[in-house]
Amino acid sequence: MSDELASPDMSIALDAPQNIPVVSEWLLGTSALLMQHQGVPEIAELIADVTSLEVRLWNTQFDEEGYRIVLMVQPHLYPRYDEAALKGIERAMGMVLGPAGKDIDEFHVRPEIPRLAARWREQVKTANGPKPSNQGRKVRLEPDHRVEDQLYFTNQYELELYQTLKKRQASLPDNETIGIMPLGGMRVRRRVLEPDFLITYRGRVAVIELDGPHHRDRAASDHSRDRQLRHAGVAFVERLNVEEVKTLHEVEKFVDDFLAQLKR
């Protein structure tokens, strides 16, 4: 089975009903890969960090279709999309759409609006308070976040992996323990990453990323992130697909294999 993304029908408007389900990911992916091949990785990475985009037919004149495009980005990433960044992204998307007679008349970016929970005041005060010791500040504003040991987690999968890592940590002697950092902010070149888990053991550092339904399918972005982490001194990045792991025993085996590799 091919994992190639579906393409929109370029003979009709991009916001036609049959194009709506595919146009966002297709336009983001093709534009990012085009910039990567042209040697403009900073624009490619900015595009890969866009959550989605809205496309609306704005003007039709002289057989040319003019569109209004709005990029949707996570609130903590929004400041990165300044005028220069938007010009670079708009140029890339214009190169993709232009040959099909489709122009960009308006181009904007806006932050995603967080889901509003009934206890939003408490969430805001907790996020700004001194207690949590990890840097996953954006997670604290999510209505369904989990907390253990004053550390925040995006979902149940992350919490269960943390609990398994903590069990392994408790079984090791004091002079040979592991460090567990969930959702810690890390500045690498040109961007800030937030690995799911950064693990330290015997003078080495590695990362665990959880893949599954709660993560968007962005293979190109994942490869770019993994490469930047390795360039920053991370020994390796191991990925756990939560859809393929069905039992606690499988999670424990993954952790044991991960630590054995880190121990080498």
Residue 161: is its pLDDT beyond 70?
yes
Q: Which of 28-32, 226-230, 236-240, 244-248 has the lowest mean pLDDT?
A: 244-248
Residue 211 pairs with which residues in a beta bridge? 241
Total-model pTM: 0.53
pLDDT confidence of 125, banded at 50, 70, 90?
A: low
Residues in contact with 70: Cβ distance below 8 Å, sequence separation at least 6, in sequence order: 53, 54, 108, 109, 110
**Which pLDDT score, from 0 to 100, does residue 134 have?**
47
Q: What is the pLDDT of residue 146?
A: 77
Q: Which long-range contacts (CB under 8 A, 24 or more apart) does 72-77 make?
A: 72/109, 72/110, 72/111, 72/112, 73/49, 73/109, 73/110, 73/111, 73/112, 74/49, 74/111, 74/112, 74/138, 75/111, 75/112, 75/114, 75/138, 76/137, 76/138, 77/49
CATH of domain 20-111: 3.30.70
Q: Where are the domains of the chain?
A: 20-111, 134-263
Query: Which pair of structure tokens corresponds to residue 16?
Result: 């036609």
The predicted pLDDT at position 205 comes to: 95
Q: What does the alpha-carbon distance between residue 35 and residue 44 come to, in Å, rounded to a whole number?
A: 5
135: phi then psi, degrees, rounded to nearest 5: -100, 10
Number of helices followed by number of strands (H, E) in the chain: 7, 11
Cα distances (Å, whole numbers) of residue 140 to 56, 154, 194: 33, 8, 14
The residue among 32, 15, 7, 13 whose CA lies nearest residue 95 is 32
- List Cβ neighbours of 159 (8 Å cut-off, separation of 6 or more): 146, 148, 153
Contact 202, 262 (CB under 8 A): yes
CATH topology classification for 134-263: Trna Endonuclease; Chain: A, domain 1 (3.40.1350)
Report the pLDDT value the prediction gives residue 136, as an integer from 0 to 100: 56
For 74-115, write each residue's pLDDT tens digit: 888 899 999 999 999 999 999 999 999 999 999 999 998 877
- Report the 10 Å Cβ neighbour count for 101: 12
238 within 8 A of 256, measured Cβ to Cβ: no
Closest to 194 measured CA to CA, from 50, 83, 49: 49
Which pLDDT does position 133 carry in this prediction? 47
